[in-house]
Amino acid sequence: MNKSLVSSIQGVLKDKTILVTGGTGSFGQAFTRILTKQFVFKSLRIFSRDELKQHDMAQHVTDERVRFFIGDIRDPDRVQRAVQGVDIIIHAAAMKQVPTCEYNPFEAVKTNILGAKYLIDAAIDQQISQIMALSTDKAVNPINLYGATKLCAERIFVQGNSYAGSRPTRMSCVRYGNVLGSRGSVVPLFEAQRQDGVVTVTDRRMTRFWLSLDQAVWFVLRCLTLARGGEIFVPKIPSIKILDLVEAMAPECSIRYVGLRPGEKLHEVLVTEDESRHTFEYDDFYTVLPEYRFWQGRAREGSAGKRRSVPEGFRYCSDNNTQWLSVDELRNLLAHNGFNGGSPRPRKHRAVVACL
């Protein structure tokens, strides 16, 4: 890791109290691991509603700077209590399973939209200096409820800066693609299906943006050093083809094609043509800047390098990406993150059933 970047992050975190909502999730656990091993800070609060997950996480976290705080992001009184004395908030709490959100739409709205509002209200009231909210490629041109709620959350966090007024609270977002091995991702599913010799694929043409949990955490930490409030930060990350992932994980298995699920896209988008008018490119990320009058500045460049405008009509999509992970690179990435890749096999896949 770049020493100057680590130094910049340390400058932001020193003597600070950090709150992570949804802190017992995949991101929260990786964030906690990296923070406690790499950085000096005052304290880290893990905010989540599941006491069992907190208990299990506490068995592996012995750092005395880490505190566990039971609460629901949908409870504004508890959120107000949780943010007292906090300097930085990382907002990772969300309902994220697409089928669950489709079947329980009001619950998704309460968590992903109202929860964002309650957090912003509390942060402004308590004069928290900085919030970084986690978003997703599903929020771009959404076709499912999960994506729609995350789009609303993005807008709420960007526009929330106008409510802060002269108070110090500044809110920004990071928007990235699929995280390898996170809860509900396809990697644990394929790993389980290998035991039966058949993996399910929705569509052979599917592509996705891809990054590891550690990459996601480091990107969020880096954005803390750059944000002035109102930006949406988008990392430049590679794409994968779904059949390459099958080849990397289960080359000996047959494939059963089951068709796209409701609300599922063939390809994901991280920056749209309409956003390109106010998007700037750096060497390894993009920044979508606010278009509103309340925004008075520009992102701190620092170690990010010089920014440049993207071409008119620019679109950052998983199928037009210039970076792709090969099958061998996927195997290495899977192994590095604790998942088993399959041994290379010369034969091609065979579809068992086509249920389209």
| Catalytic sites, residue numbers | 138
Q: Is the dihedral of CA 80, 81, 82, 87 positive or negative?
A: positive
Rounded CA separation 101/97 (Å): 6
Which 8-state DSSP code applies to residue 112?
I
Q: Is the dihedral of CA 59, 63, 64, 68 positive or negative?
A: negative
Structure tokens that stand for 5 in this block? 């970047």
Residues in the chain: 356
Query: Tell me, what amino acid is at 182?
Result: S
Structure tokens that stand for 221 in this block? 């930490």
3-state helix, strand, coil in the chain (%, to 5): 40, 20, 40
Q: Strand pairing partners for 172?
A: 132
CB 248 within 8 Å of CB 342: yes
Q: First CA to last CA across the chain, in angstroms?
A: 45
CB 86 within 8 Å of CB 42: no
42 phi, psi to nearest 5 deg: -80, -55
Identify the three-state secondary structure at position 171. strand
Rounded CA separation 32/240 (Å): 28
